Amino acid sequence: MASTSNEKDIAIPLTLPVKRKKPDTDFEKCILCQSNKKAAKPIGTDNGRIKIQEACSRLKDQIITERIGGDAADTFVYHLNCYKSYVLKGSRVALVEVASDDSGDNCQSAASSRSKRSSLYLPQAQKPQVCSICNYESKGRVNKLHRICEVERAESFLAATRFNLDAVFDRTSTLQDVNSVFAADIMCHKRCINQYILQYKRDLDRQMILEQDVPDAVYDAFHNWISTLQLGSHGYVLTDCRILLNSSLPPDQHITNRKLKQLLINHLGEEICFTYPKDKTKSQMFFSSKLAIASLAENIRTCDSIKLCAEQLRQECKDFDFSLTGKFL
Task: Report yes or no: 284 and 261 within 8 Å, Cβ to Cβ.
Answer: yes
Could you please state the CATH topology (level 3) that the domain comprising 213-319 is classified under: Arc Repressor Mutant, subunit A (1.10.10)
pLDDT in tens, 104-163: 555 555 555 555 544 444 444 455 678 888 888 776 666 788 888 888 888 889 888 888
pLDDT at 117: 46
DSSP state of 25: P
What is the residue type of 212?
Q
**Per-domain residue ranges of the chain:** 20-94, 146-210, 213-319
pLDDT at 121: 45
Task: Check residues 306 and 22 and name the one with the higher pLDDT.
Answer: 306
- Worst-scoring range by mean pLDDT, 30-34, 68-72, 105-109, 250-254? 105-109
The answer to whether residue 225 scores a pLDDT higher than 70 is yes
> Helix, strand, or coil here: 272?
strand
Phi, psi of 156, rounded to the nearest 5 degrees: -65, -40
Task: Report yes or no: 287 and 272 within 8 Å, Cβ to Cβ.
Answer: yes
Q: What is the dihedral of CA 3, 5, 6, 12, to 10 degrees?
A: 130
pLDDT at 124: 46
pLDDT in tens, 256-298: 888 888 888 888 888 888 888 888 788 888 888 777 666 666 6
Q: What are 237's strand-pairing partners?
A: 285
C-alpha span between 100 and 291 (Å, rounded): 82
pLDDT in tens, 232-252: 778 888 999 999 988 888 888
Estimate to the nearest angstrom the gap between the alpha carbon of 320 and the chain centroid. Answer: 70
Q: What is the average per-residue pLDDT within 175-198?
A: 86
Q: Across all residues in the chain, what is the average pLDDT?
A: 76
Q: What are 142's strand-pairing partners?
A: 139
Q: What is the average per-residue pLDDT within 197-218?
A: 77
pLDDT at 22: 54
CA distances from 175 to 60, 223, 286 (A): 59, 48, 43
Categorize the per-residue pLDDT at 83 as very low, low, confident or very high, splitting at 50, 70 and 90. confident
Angle in degrees, 0-180, between the axes of helices 257-268 and 216-226, rounded to the nearest 10? 70
Q: What is the dihedral of CA 43, 47, 50, 55, to 10 degrees?
A: -80
